[in-house]
Structure 1
């Protein structure tokens, strides 16, 4: 076994580089500050009760200025002050929110929904209420992102007892998943405005048990900035000697009734970090191990469509494509993907399976192995701790014992160490979280969330290709 530690991948910002998104934005500004396509004025629509909208307005006012780190924080690099969201700070943009850009929901309408006996009917009524107001703002106001604030009493009424907001709906003797957040985002997708859903309690600083305001502002404002699009808060550092490449994640999701329909999903991230979402066709499930698999034709069509979207965005094809999957590649899949790359004259195609591992490594002392610990077991199998103790944070920022991911290299022109470093970098490309120790590469971690919403779209619906609509 070969053991090494991979250094934390660096991120590029407007005027410098750093390993930490928060420190990089504060010191050097978001990556795309010099690009003319980005928005310097971001208009936010808001939906909620009058009390919710007041909380949202106060929250935006707070976010426009510096927010101090919590008092007594021991790990100063983990608990950084928020730089403020304004034209003179690292974001280089202004947030605009006002009564003209908001829609108030009457308390009596919320109370009527809460009184509905069946939980599924309450969820459907809440979706209809919020969608009506989303549609008005999208069609009649100049907004870039719409924030839906959920009052706590309504949240409790439409969430499950387990707190996952999920419920089964009886349909002809079967059951279908019904989830407020997923269904609302899917239903609103055709309106072309990304949504940000947030509980009112998260905006109320007087409530106990809340995340500190600075950390909350970092995550909330970065997500809004990315969703306002086309914007890139940061970019992965690329070796100048390496050819252009892109990463493609292939995942599968079940239909809402969880019966026979499994649909392939490709999520492609170009070298700028742009996520492009594509929906494939229904796939067969192996009777032996219940694993969904693509046919050669499906694999060919999926990668061809993904790379054509890349070409439209960057006006060229990449020299290299690395394909991530959470299950083993079949010969048919490899043949179809290879054939598509060959027809488009892609020079190199790498195939890597990324999955959880039951193996563990131990480190002297009380802390888990460092993030970036890499153990090459043999020529094709390796372990990577994408979560673990972080030297920069001077602690392990998780709650549970970290589990490494297993990398199975089916075919690659690059070394196992390079593949691991690439995947470690892709764990930092999730703009929903500015803490940089994500477990899965964005190609797979976010693809799962995309599938959660994609299952609510009809076959005749056209999915948005920008990742901001699924966050």
Structure 2
């Protein structure tokens, strides 16, 4: 057994590099200022009641200005001030909203939905209410993103708390035995509105209020909200990983599985591709079978071949070249058929180097000095194939561990590779920072699998199999 420490990966911004997204944007501007294909005016359409829209106006005005950091914090690098959504530095853009690009919901309509006794009927009614107004904005107004503000009295009636693991193998999970359908407001609304071609930002009324106990401080909320809005508008990245120009171009693919809403239909596969700039493609695969012996879903060779070939073809279309190297992350073990299919697709698409990696949650725990959490970036090499990687843990830059429980490492299984395990683990650590929905950089899962899971939760609400999903991650986050 060998122990290694991977330094926090650097991120590249418009005029420099830094390990923290917030500090990087503040000091060096968003990365895509280099690309010259970005919007400098973010036009925010909105749907909500008169009261919640008023709060949204106030919040957006606040976000356009400097917001001080959380007072008296012992972690000044964790709780940093918000630079303001301005045109002269940082995001180098302006937030634009006015009455002409908003739709006001009647309080009577909200009250009528709240009074509906049946859960499913109540959620579907709320989805339809917001969808109708979002559709009007998408079809009749020039907007970049649609913000749906959910009043507290409605939110409490249509949201249920849920804890869903990002990496899921479906082991020990029973097939659905009844006709109960999963009904989730956020997922259903995003799926229904997908055809409108405008990403949604769903936000609670309570999140627009300042200094509420139990919520993030205003600066942190502004960082996360504005970064998500910016990414959804431009669909280019505010930051990217600093890469070695001497290494070949690499394409990252995440393969995940999800059940149908009634949990009876066989699992469906999906792929998420990220290149080094964070560009992405969402694809929906075909239904798959679960191996009854180990309760793990597997693709047939032909399914694996066609899914990966489609993904690589999209990459080639976007970048006018095939990647020199392919890294495939999967949340369950590979079958021989899957490997055959993936390798055949990679070979046909002229990919010279391939790495097949399984990423799981580990049951092992390590402590520093029998008392303190392990450092983020600790890489434990058990043998050539099996590794542990701490993506959550004590962060030197933050001078703290931001979690509540003993951090759990990821189990990394290098199934087949042309690259060293050290480089593979370093890339996984870097990919945990490519989440444009959260500017705190110590995420647990690489964006390949985190995105694949989130996409699956929305995609299950799409209609017929030929109902083509949007290919950008901005429609699912």
Report if TM-score (shorter chain) is over 0.5: yes
Q: CA deviation at 1:298?
A: 0.4
Per the alignment, residue 74 of structure 1 pairs with 74
Per the alignment, residue 337 of structure 1 pairs with 342
Per the alignment, residue 268 of structure 1 pairs with 273
What is the correspondence of 1:188-199 to structure 2 with a 5 Å cutoff?
Answer: 188-199=193-204
Per the alignment, residue 362 of structure 1 pairs with 367
Structure 2: distance between partners of 1:149 and 1:163: 20
Higher mean alpha-carbon deviation, 206-215 vs 110-119, is at 206-215
Q: CA deviation at 1:207?
A: 3.6
Per the alignment, residue 141 of structure 1 pairs with 141
Structure 2: distance between partners of 1:270 and 1:390: 26
1:423 alignment partner, SS class: helix
Per the alignment, residue 472 of structure 2 pairs with 466
Deviations 1:167-225 (A, max 9, x none): xxxx9961110100000000000000000001001101164322100000000000000
Per the alignment, residue 4 of structure 1 pairs with 4
Deviations 1:99-158 (A, max 9, x none): 111100010000011111111111111011000000000001111000000000001111
Per the alignment, residue 442 of structure 1 pairs with 447
Deviations 1:352-373 (A, max 9, x none): 0000001122212642010000
Higher mean alpha-carbon deviation, 294-303 vs 229-238, is at 229-238
Identify which of 310, 313, 317 aligns with 1:308: 313
Matched, 1:13 2:16: no
Matched, 1:353 2:358: yes
Per the alignment, residue 388 of structure 2 pairs with 383
Contact 1:266 1:279 in 2 (8 A): yes
Q: CA deviation at 1:56?
A: 0.3
Structure 2: distance between partners of 1:411 and 1:163: 35
Structure 2: distance between partners of 1:348 and 1:25: 34
Structure 2: distance between partners of 1:326 and 1:148: 32
Per the alignment, residue 117 of structure 1 pairs with 117
- Give aligned pairs, total: 465
Gaps of 5+ in 1: 166-170
- Residues 80 and 357 (structure 1), Cα distance of their counterparts in 2 relative to 1, 3 Å cut: same
Deviations 1:366-411 (A, max 9, x none): 4201000010000100000000000000000111111000100001
Deviations 1:228-267 (A, max 9, x none): 0232100101112110011000000000000132100100
Contact 1:30 1:90 in 2 (8 A): yes
Higher mean alpha-carbon deviation, 307-316 vs 55-64, is at 307-316
Q: CA deviation at 1:423?
A: 0.3
Structure 1: distance between partners of 2:370 and 2:98: 53
2:359 alignment partner, SS class: strand
Moved >6 Å (runs of 4+)? none
Per the alignment, residue 192 of structure 2 pairs with 187
The two structures have a TM-score, normalised by structure 1, of 0.97
Per the alignment, residue 168 of structure 1 pairs with none
What is the correspondence of 1:22-421 to structure 2 with a 5 Å cutoff?
Answer: 22-160=22-160, 162=161, 174-205=179-210, 207-364=212-369, 366-421=371-426
CA RMSD of aligned residues (A): 1.4
Contact 2:282 2:471 in 1 (8 A): yes
Per the alignment, residue 173 of structure 2 pairs with none
Structure 2: distance between partners of 1:172 and 1:130: 32
